[in-house]
Amino acid sequence: MMYRLECKCMLMKDEMFVLGEGRAKLLRFIERTGSISRAAEKMDMSYRHAWGIIRKIEESAEEELVESQRGGSNERGSVLTPAAKQLLKDYEDLKDEHKGGVYRNPSLTVDGIVTRKDKILLIERKNPPFKGCYALPGGFVEYNETVEKAVLREVEEETGLKTEIKKLIGVYSSPERDPRGHMVSSVFSLDIIGGELVGGSDAVSADFFSLKDLPNLAFDHDKIIEDFRADKER
């Protein structure tokens, strides 16, 4: 199941609530139908309730927003005042400005490099993206968790091996490295201190592969391993 976060925007004036999506919708229906009663019907509320909302908006905005008007058949209707139209425009403009200004932060991940002689530990991915491809063991850093603790936890969850950190290999932050979005990974080399090798968590399997004959790798893990090998040769 995919979740998304939705935020409600409220237009305020001197700490007074003026307009939100519900109130704005009522004003739009009045503008569209030319009638408070028809707008109330579309909002599934009584005429009296609709009038009460209009009065509350006018009190907060300190402006007349809806005025009565007679049609050619002497039928009374309602129209938005220029102040109401400007209020709606300001509300929409501020919503757009808010959406554009919301910070989008990259997600923090970790990857672990575990070697045994001339072989490197890889897991076969159980889930998309890159399902069925091989990758370094790793995953997302949890809230209130350091990257150091995260990499030890993720490696143990995916491979069954207990490890300790040997060295930080690098930080990989290209926005294109993960199709799910911008992921920044801290990559550590690790030494095995216990446990038993077994695929677990998000891994179908876990095994050691020759550095000279690697399978197809997910994400940018071929570059990470290349950097690791270059670092070893220094």
Which domains are seen in the chain, by residue range?
A: 11-101 (1.10.10.10), 107-233 (3.90.79.10)
Query: How many residues make up the chain in this entry?
Result: 234
Residue appearing with tokens 């550590």: 188
pLDDT of residue 100: 58
- Which of 230, 1, 227, 225 has the alpha carbon at shortest distance from 134? 225
On whether the CB atoms of residues 80 and 30 are closer than 8 A, the answer is yes
The stretch 192-216 carries a mean pLDDT of 92
Residue-wise pLDDT for 36-62, tens only, equals: 999 999 999 999 999 999 999 999 999
Residue-wise pLDDT for 132-142, tens only, equals: 999 999 999 99
Measuring CA to CA, how many Å separate 115 from each of 40, 74, 188, 211, 225? 69, 87, 12, 9, 11
DSSP structure string for 197-215: ----TTEEEEEEEETTS--
Measuring CA to CA, how many Å separate 87 from each of 91, 97, 176? 6, 15, 41
Residue-wise pLDDT for 66-82, tens only, equals: 998 755 444 568 999 99
Residue appearing with tokens 């058949």: 73
The stretch 169-185 carries a mean pLDDT of 94
Amino acid in position 48 = R
Which of the four pLDDT bands, split at 50, 70 and 90, describes residue 7?
Answer: low
Which of the four pLDDT bands, split at 50, 70 and 90, describes residue 94?
Answer: confident
On whether the CB atoms of residues 177 and 171 are closer than 8 A, the answer is no
**Percent of the chain clearing pLDDT 70 (strictly above):** 91
Which of the four pLDDT bands, split at 50, 70 and 90, describes residue 96?
Answer: confident
Measuring CA to CA, how many Å separate 23 from each of 40, 81, 160? 11, 15, 56
Checking if the pLDDT of 1 tops 80, the result is no
pLDDT of residue 226: 95
Q: Which tokens belong to 41?
A: 């019907």
pLDDT of residue 73: 46
